Amino acid sequence: MTPAARQQAAIEILDLILDGEASEKALTSWGRRNRYAGSKDRAAVRDHVFTALRCRRSFAVLGGSQTGRGLVLGSLRAEGVDPETVFSGQGYGPSPLTEAEAVTPADFASDAERLDIPDWVWPSFSDSLGVAAEAAAVALQSRAPVHLRVNLLRSNRADAIEALAEEGILCTPHPASETALEVTQGGRKIRNSDCFADGLVELQDAASQAVVDRLPLQDGMRVLDFCAGGGGKSLAMAGQAKVDLFAHDANASRMNDLPLRAQRAGADITCLSEDELERAEAFDLVLCDVPCSGSGSWRRAPEGKWRLTRAMLDEIRLSQRQILEDAAQLVREGGHLAYATCSMLDEENTAQIQGFLDSHAGWKLGEQAVWQVQDGTDGFFVTVLTHIG
């Protein structure tokens, strides 16, 4: 495919997404319809699509419309590329610019528009991040780095770096966690590498790993990952201490791959159903990595930024509050309750914790930590509470 043909493909896929189709489905469907496209073509088209989704508001202004064509035109202008070199109608590329499209774009109407944040989110976003709000928003406009977690049950950071390099995957240590690596070359090779297949490393953001580092894990504990999902933090905890580790999720199907992942990692994790959890003994530590806005990972999943509504966020916050209530009942006296999100919004983080403490005697605030996207990780928050009786 020519560079212009890749942009035309991105236009067609973006139109499907703007009409409501999920990005991964739209990309997969395009790939099946265009089997002639090589791996480099598919990767390039994917990059064009996700770049446009991250910068959907600003590119629409620069391109003059909220369409696939407008977003691609806006992306070229944002990069300082002459649009006529792509919009030429040659090489299966986009047709030439119309007279309206050739008009100089309007100025941005607000910081939220320039920085690609929904208007209704901007007050909460800017209040939560303060002077760092613009830097965080700019970071969300760019592609996220690729991070790996070294599985301490299988290897150590130095040996993992060496083994990955032998497979053409170059990494450097990431300062957020002692288990974190940042991939600098060969990121697309990871899932097919021996290091990944043998459980030496897992794909996991460095801040997500750092959340686990902040947990008061000690040998012999009974530990529950209450909102386990795919089990990334369960696996990370398994490498930190010799604990009796349990995983649960309200949607049990989210844990379907966890037994296989645990086997590959050499970890012993017991998945609990709702009934089994009701009969379980109290735990020394319960981690709640709760559903959230995902604002700290919007550059990885940019659709979430545009599909989230105030009503949806309010519903999410009610769910977070209920999860804290339910999880607190599972912690023994003297034990710990950890609350984590991949959000940078105070209303999902410190406000939730303060609300819990205001209505629950017998709990003490312990360690609290935040990570923000402009510092080289996803945005994360964690608080550890102690049940003092």
**Burial profile 149-175: b = 16 or more Cβ within 10 angstroms, e = fewer:** bbbbebbebeebbebbeeeebebebbe
- Per the CB < 8 A criterion, the answer to whether 6 and 13 are in contact is no
So what's the pLDDT on residue 142? 96
**Shared domain check, 318 and 170:** no
Q: At which of 203, 230, 247 does a domain end? A: 203
Instruction: Dump pLDDT digits (tens) for 3-36.
Output: 999 999 999 999 999 999 999 999 999 988 988 8
**Shared domain check, 155 and 94:** no
185 has a pLDDT exceeding 90: yes
Residue 125 covered by a domain: no
The domain that holds 357 is classified in CATH as: 3.40.50.150
So what's the pLDDT on residue 98? 94
Residue 364 identity (one-letter amino acid): K
**Shared domain check, 338 and 241:** yes
Instruction: Dump pLDDT digits (tens) for 296-309.
Output: 999 999 999 999 99
CA–CA separation, 387 vs 371, rounded Å? Answer: 25
Q: Classify 262 as helix, strand or coil.
A: helix
CA–CA separation, 296 vs 376, rounded Å? Answer: 11
Residue 152 identity (one-letter amino acid): L
**What pLDDT band is residue 76 in, cutting at 50, 70 and 90?**
very high
- Per the CB < 8 A criterion, the answer to whether 246 and 224 are in contact is yes
- Per the CB < 8 A criterion, the answer to whether 72 and 52 are in contact is yes
42-to-49, 85, 119, 147 alpha-carbon distances in Å: 11, 21, 33, 22
**Shared domain check, 245 and 181:** no
**Shared domain check, 255 and 186:** no
Strand residue runs (E) in the chain: 147-150, 170-173, 180-185, 201-203, 222-225, 244-247, 269-271, 283-289, 331-341, 363-371, 380-387
Residue 208 covered by a domain: no
**Shared domain check, 197 and 221:** no
Paired sense of beta strands 380-387 and 363-371, if any: antiparallel
So what's the pLDDT on residue 34? 86
Residue 231 region by backbone torsions, left for phi larger than 0, else alpha for psi between -120 and 50, else beta: left
State how many domains the chain has.
3
Residue 199 region by backbone torsions, left for phi larger than 0, else alpha for psi between -120 and 50, else beta: left
Instruction: Dump pLDDT digits (tens) for 370-388.
Output: 999 999 999 999 999 999 9
**Shared domain check, 355 and 311:** yes
Q: What is the DSSP letter of 288?
A: E
Rounded to 5°, the CA angle 253-255-257 comes to: 105
Q: Classify 336 as helix, strand or coil.
A: strand
CA–CA separation, 184 vs 160, rounded Å? Answer: 14
368 has a pLDDT exceeding 90: yes
Q: Which two tokens stand for residue 70?
A: 């407008």
Q: At which of 160, 183, 203 does a domain end? A: 203
Helix (H) or strand (E) segment spanning residue 71: helix 68-79
CA–CA separation, 150 vs 202, rounded Å? Answer: 7
Instruction: Dump pLDDT digits (tens) for 325-344.
Output: 999 999 999 999 999 999 99
Q: What are phi and psi of 98, to 5 degrees?
A: -80, 170
Residue 137 covered by a domain: no
**Shared domain check, 298 and 243:** yes
**What pLDDT band is residue 281 in, cutting at 50, 70 and 90?**
very high
Question: How high does pLDDT run on average in the chain?
Answer: 95
Q: At which of 203, 221, 241 does a domain end? A: 203
CA–CA separation, 295 vs 300, rounded Å? Answer: 10
**Shared domain check, 298 and 175:** no
Q: What is the DSSP letter of 214?
A: T
The domain that holds 183 is classified in CATH as: 3.30.70.1170
The domain in which residue 250 lies consists of 213-387
Residue 124 covered by a domain: no
So what's the pLDDT on residue 90? 87
**Shared domain check, 241 and 159:** no
Q: What are phi and psi of 318, to 5 degrees?
A: -65, -40
Rounded to 5°, the CA angle 308-209-348 comes to: 35
- The residue count for the chain: 389
Other CB atoms within 10 A of residue 177 CB: 25
**Burial profile 102-131: b = 16 or more Cβ within 10 angstroms, e = fewer:** eeebeeeeeebbbbbbbeebbebbbebbee
Residue 116 covered by a domain: no
**Shared domain check, 340 and 224:** yes
**Shared domain check, 174 and 238:** no
Give the burial class of 288: count Cβ atoms within 10 A of its Cβ; 0-12 exposed, 13-18 middle, 19 or more buried: buried
Residue 45 covered by a domain: yes
